[in-house]
Structure 1
Amino acid sequence: MREASSAKSSGGKARKPQSNGASEGLLDRELVDLPAELRWREWMMRVEAVIFASAVPVGREVLARVVGKDCSIDLLIDDLVEELRDRPYELVSVAGGWQHRSRVRYADAIRASQAPTRGGAAALSEFEATVLMSIAYFQPLTRSELSKIFGKEVSRDVIGSLRGTGFIASGPRSPTPGAPYSYVTTKHFLSAFGMETLRDLPDIEALEDAGLLSRDAEHSEPFPVGQEDNSEGVL
């Protein structure tokens, strides 16, 4: 009825497409006409649909846009996690939000299929991976500080490559002469490596004991590597 009235008042002229804000206004979030059980089920399906469609982890504030104001996002997520318990994929908490991820036990099958997959970590050289690891643990770090850690120059090409993957971004300027930019990890770094926050990084003392990382300021050789925006990834 509202659309018909609006068309008549505009003299039959074609209307401009609605903005996202207007479209959001048409979504019934409260669903008061539904029985409580069906209302909850619809909220669950909305939340799962948004997470499934998103290319990045979805935060609480985004999910709150599609459910009622008194709906508990945490309880919805708990029910979705339980519902997916027997599926080959799960709902995981990464980088400050939620995302669908294939279960580890099916990794071999996915690789054998050679099907193109979305997301994941970009391929890095051993040295790039070690520089990234150093930034993750000791950020914010300037290129000069990284060069001191490794005992040789960390080139702009290496930094550019890591920036190109989306794993690092410019952090605060250093108070040292010239005020160079420092570098920090990003939310994409957390997402790609399946972490909620940087507190999920492996214990640094264990890495030191294994010879994979050192807090010493200077090294004659790079650290060995194991197998395998201001940034929100900063602790």
Structure 2
Amino acid sequence: MGRRARAKADLDLDLADLPPELRWREWMGRVEAVIFASPEPVTREILARVVGGDCNIDLIIDDIRDELRGRPYELVAVAGGWQHRTRKVFATAIRTATGLGDQVRPLSQQESLILLCIAYYQPITRGELSQFFGKEVSRDLIAHLRGLGFIASGPRAPRPGAPYTYVTTNGFLSHFGFNTLRDLPDMEMLEDAGLLSKEKLLAGDIPPLAETAAADDDDMI
């Protein structure tokens, strides 16, 4: 029996001996503890390992979020899972006190532009990106985005030479606060808001990617 199987055998998942309210509170505590202890977003499949088979994880998450209302941190859905994050309103206070975030260089306009295009048009090759903008997209720029963990190699393109394509990663989703690629701001909405258009893309005149994500959040409030 493997270590994970032994640990699961030692953990009473169904808690049949507890009254329903206490059982639910125990499941809530387990779920929140697992999310709190993980440096990465925790998926539904992982959380299912610590609760009973009839436990509704979505309702557990909702109850945890209700209890966190008014706290400086929240439970957010990112990159296909859940993660504790401090609320954006406290970002300046955190940077002032600890300097966290100051050491991270924001993406340049060109980097944001390339990343935005990869996000919307993936899988896409470096050559296709170069054709789109009418100038070469350097290997160094692609390597920098890969080094940040925002993009990775996708399937090879079905054309002579079989060049690599590029796709965004879970790190991209997590960094910009998206749960899935379906959460990317709708292109038509961005155009209507004056934030993005084909002409602006080709001219390189776009706001940072984080601003487009924030605009999408504001539209949903």
Instruction: Give the shorter-chain TM-score range.
Output: 0.7 to 0.9
Name the residue aligned to 2:206. Answer: 225
Name the residue aligned to 2:129. Answer: 146
The residue type equivalent to 1:40 in the other structure is W
CA displacement, residues 56-96 of structure 1 (integer Å, 9 cap, x when unaligned): 11111110000011111011111101010121111111121
CA displacement, residues 15-69 of structure 1 (integer Å, 9 cap, x when unaligned): xxx7233222211111122222111111001000111111111111110000011
Name the residue aligned to 2:145. Answer: 162
Secondary structure at the counterpart of residue 83 of structure 2: strand
Gapped regions of structure 2 (runs ≥ 5): 212-221
Give the number of aligned pairs: 205
Q: Contact 2:14 / 2:53 at 8 angstroms: preserved in 1?
A: yes
Q: Contact 1:140 / 1:183 at 8 angstroms: preserved in 2?
A: yes
Matching of residues 79-90 of structure 1 within 5 Å: 79-90=63-74
User: How does the TM-score come out when normalised to structure 1?
Assistant: 0.80
In structure 2, C-alpha distance between the alignment counterparts of 1:211 and 1:82, rounded to whole Å: 33
In structure 2, C-alpha distance between the alignment counterparts of 1:126 and 1:27, rounded to whole Å: 50
Match of 1:33 among 17, 20, 26: 17
In structure 2, C-alpha distance between the alignment counterparts of 1:52 and 1:127, rounded to whole Å: 35
The structure in which a higher percent of residues are helix is: 2
Matching of residues 2-13 of structure 1 within 5 Å: none
RMSD, aligned α-carbons: 2.2
Change (3 A) 1:207 1:36: closer
Change (3 A) 1:170 1:122: farther
Larger Rg: 1
Deviation at 1:115, TM superposition (A): 4.4
1:188 aligned onto 2:183: no
In structure 1, C-alpha distance between the alignment counterparts of 2:172 and 2:64, rounded to whole Å: 25
Name the residue aligned to 1:65. Answer: 49
Match of 2:85 among 88, 101, 107: 101
Deviation at 1:122, TM superposition (A): 6.5
Q: Contact 1:122 / 1:165 at 8 angstroms: preserved in 2?
A: no
1:112 aligned onto 2:96: yes
